[in-house]
Amino acid sequence: MLIETIFGNLQGLKSSQLKQIQRLYHQRIPGDRITTPEFSQRLAAISTEINQPVCAYLNRRGQVIRVGVGTPRQTQIPPLELPRYGAERLSGIRCIATHLKPEPPNEAALTSMALQRLDALVMLNITGTGFQRRGGGATGYVKEAYLAHLTPQDARALITTPASLTEPKNNLPYTNWSVSPPMSVDMLTNQDFIELVEGLEAEFRREFVAQDVDTDNDRVLIVGVVTDDTTAQQFQDTLEELGRLVDTAGGEVLQMMRQKRSRIHPQTVVGEGKVQEIAIAAQTLGANLIVFDRDLSPTQVRNLESQIGVRVVDRTEVILDIFAQRAQSRAGKLQVELAQLEYMLPRLAGRGQAMSRLGGGIGTRGPGETKLETERRAIGRRISRLQQEVNQLQAHRERLRQRRQHQEVPSVAIVGYTNAGKSTLLNTLTNAEVYTADQLFATLDPTTRRLAVPHGETDEPQEILVTDTVGFIHELPASLMDAFRATLEEVTEADALLHLVDLSHPAWLSHIRSVREILSQMPITPGPALVVFNKIDEVDSKNLALAQEEFPLAVFISASQRLGLETLRQRLGQLVEYAASYQ
C-alpha cells in the first residue's frame, strides 16, 4: 500500500492544500507519455496556490510514487531508497517539477537529476494568472516547459590509475546532461517517453560494454582530504599508498577524488558539494565502494552512506580486510579477529535502526535489552576470550625466546615498511620458503630461520636467528598494534634490528620516519638497528647518492638480485657483537 507522505517544506500549508497535494498520488499518466496537459496544469494550480514549487516523481508505469513541496534538490529521493541498476541503467523514475520563474533548470536541479539518475527532469515554468477558480482565487498556468535528461559520456576515460590525481576542472565532471529549448506542454506531451528512455539506456550500455566489469570485485572511488598541515607530496604519497592497499585487498580503483580544506567537516569529512560529486561519480562509474584516506567516525559513515547511497569504509577497514585475507596460522587469525572486533565495537551504533530493535532469542538478554546491546555484549565476551588466547600466545612465544636465549643464540628481527622486501631477503639469506609477493602485507606471521655470519676478528662463522616480521605502515591502526602485540614482541625481544628500506619507492624517507615512529611506541625499547637499503638495482644514481649521504653507515643491497649480501653478512656479525656489548 502506498503511503501518501508529502515531502519537503510543509510549514504554513492549510489542511485543504495538503489534501490537494496528497490527491496527486491518485493520478496516473500513460506509460509512453512524459506528462499530460491535465497533470501539468494540476501541478501548476497547486503550486500557484501555495506559492511554492511542487515536484512529482513517477515510475515508468506512470504512477506517482513521491510528492514534495520544494525544488528537486529539496525533495529528491535519498540514494539508499533508489533502485541500484548499475551505471548502464537509469533509475526508472522521472521528476515533474514546477518553477515560479521563467528560466531553465538551474545547476542544483540538474545535479539532483544526476544524483538520482532520473529518466528525465521536466521543469514547468508557471506565469501570471491563468483563470479564476470557482469560489474565487487565481491559479497560474504553464507558460513553457523544459525537458532535461542525462547523456552518456565515455566513462572509461574517467577511470585513472591510482597514481593519477588529476581531476576535471568543472564542478560536476562526471555527468553530462541535455536541456531542451523552451517548449509548450503540448510539444512535450507528444514525445514518446519509452523511446527516449530506451534510447538513452542503449547509449549507456554501449559506453560500458567495453569495460568488462567484474561484478564480484569492489569497484572503488578513493577520496582524500588534504589539510593545511600536509604537503602536496605527502598527500599524493598517501593516496597512492591507499590505492595500493585497495588493490591488495582485491578492489579496482576507478577514480581518485580529493578536496583541500582548512579543517575536516565534522559530519561528512568533505563539504556538501564534494559529497554530491562523489555520489555522481559513483553513479556514473558504477562504483560500489567509497574508501576515505582517514579514519571515519560512525556518524560520518552513516551520513555519507545516506547521501551517496554506496557503502563507505575508511583506511583502517581496508587494512583489516587485507590482514583477514593474509592470516594463515591460528595465531594470525585470532589476532586479526581481535583487531576487527575491537574496531567494530564502538561503531555498532552507526549501523542504523536494525541494531536497535528487540531481539527474539531465549536466554540471551536481559529484560528490555536491545539488539544493539546484545551484540555489544556478545562481542565484548568474544574479545575477552581472544585476548586470553593472545596472552597465552605471548606466554608461549616468551618461553621459546627464553629457550633461545638460554642457548645464547643472538637474534635479529627484520623490520621495515610493508613491501620493502623483508620476506625476499629472509628467503635469499637462509633459503627459506616464506611467501613473497609484490603486495602490501604479504607476510603476517613471523618466521624465524638460522643464518651463519662472520664473528670476531677471525671471522669464525656464528649462527644467529633472523626473524621476518609483519610490515609497518604510516599511521598503523591502534587496534592492530594492540592485537598483534604477540607478534610485535618478536621485534622488542630481538637483540638487534635490521631496518630494511625500499630505496626504489619515492617516499622512502617518509617510510623510514614512519617505522621509527612505530618503534618508538613499543613498550620495550628495541635493540640497535642497522639500516639496509634494498632494491638498489631499481634506483637512479641521484637517489642512491642521497641515501649514502643521509645514511653513511647503511648497507646497500638487492635481495632479489643477490647484490651486496656478503657485505650484509659481515655487518650483521658486527651488529650482534655490538648488541651484546650494548646490553
Domain boundary assignment for the chain: 6-209, 219-313, 401-582
Residue-level pLDDT at 218: 86
Residue-level pLDDT at 436: 64
Report pLDDT digits (tens) over 144-160. 999 999 887 644 444 33
Report pLDDT digits (tens) over 331-351. 777 778 888 888 877 776 544
- Report whether 311 contacts 244 (CB < 8 A): no
Report the predicted TM-score, pTM, of the whole model to 2 decimal places. 0.73
The residue with greater pLDDT, 386 or 361, is 386
Residue-level pLDDT at 556: 95
Measured between alpha carbons, how far is residue 229 from residues 75, 109, 232, 291 in Å? 38, 36, 10, 22
pLDDT at residue 485 tops 70? no
Scanning 251-370, the segments in alpha helix (DSSP H) are 272-285, 298-308, 315-326, 330-344
pLDDT at residue 459 tops 90? no
- Report whether 309 contacts 281 (CB < 8 A): no
Compute the average pLDDT of residues 12-26.
92
pLDDT at residue 355 tops 50? no
The residue with greater pLDDT, 356 or 519, is 519
Report pLDDT digits (tens) over 391-401. 787 677 667 66
Q: Which three cell numbers stand for residue 142?
A: 504553464
Q: H/E/C letters for each residue in 433-485?
A: CCCCCCCCCCCCCCEEEEEEEEECCCCEEEEEEEEECCCECCCCCHHHHHHCH
Letter for the amino acid at 367? P
CA distance 439 to 470: 13
pLDDT at residue 558 tops 90? yes
Compute the average pLDDT of residues 37-58.
93
- Check if CATH label 3.90.1570.10 holds for domain 219-313: no
Compute the average pLDDT of residues 435-440.
63
Report pLDDT digits (tens) over 406-426. 557 888 999 999 888 888 998
Residue-level pLDDT at 395: 75
pLDDT at residue 248 tops 80? yes
What mean pLDDT value characterizes the chain?
Answer: 80
Distance of CA 407 to the CA centre of its chain: 49
Superfamily of domain 401-582: P-loop containing nucleotide triphosphate hydrolases (3.40.50.300)
Cα radius of gyration rounded to whole Å, the chain: 31
Compute the average pLDDT of residues 467-471.
82
Express as a percent the part of the chain with pLDDT over 90: 33
Express as a percent the part of the chain with pLDDT over 70: 80
Residue-level pLDDT at 168: 35
Compute the average pLDDT of residues 179-197.
90
Residues 6+ apart with CB under 8 A from 379: 341, 344, 345, 348
- Report whether 471 contacts 419 (CB < 8 A): yes
Compute the average pLDDT of residues 126-147.
66
Q: Which of these ranges, 83-87, 115-119, 426-430, has the smallest mean pLDDT?
A: 83-87
Q: H/E/C letters for each residue in 453-467?
A: EEECCCCEEEEEEEE
CA distance 285 to 221: 9
CA distance 243 to 246: 5
The residue with greater pLDDT, 277 or 166, is 277
Query: Given this chain, do its domains 219-313 and 401-582 carry the same CATH topology?
Result: yes
Q: What letter would DSSP give residue 162?
A: T
Residue-level pLDDT at 216: 62
CA distance 97 to 145: 10
Q: Is 248 left (phi over 0), alpha (psi -120 to 50) or beta?
A: alpha
Residues 6+ apart with CB under 8 A from 158: 173, 174, 254, 255, 281, 284, 285
**Could you tell me the pLDDT band of residue 130, with boundaries at 50, 70 and 90?**
very low
Report pLDDT digits (tens) over 92-129. 999 999 998 888 999 889 988 988 889 999 999 997 65
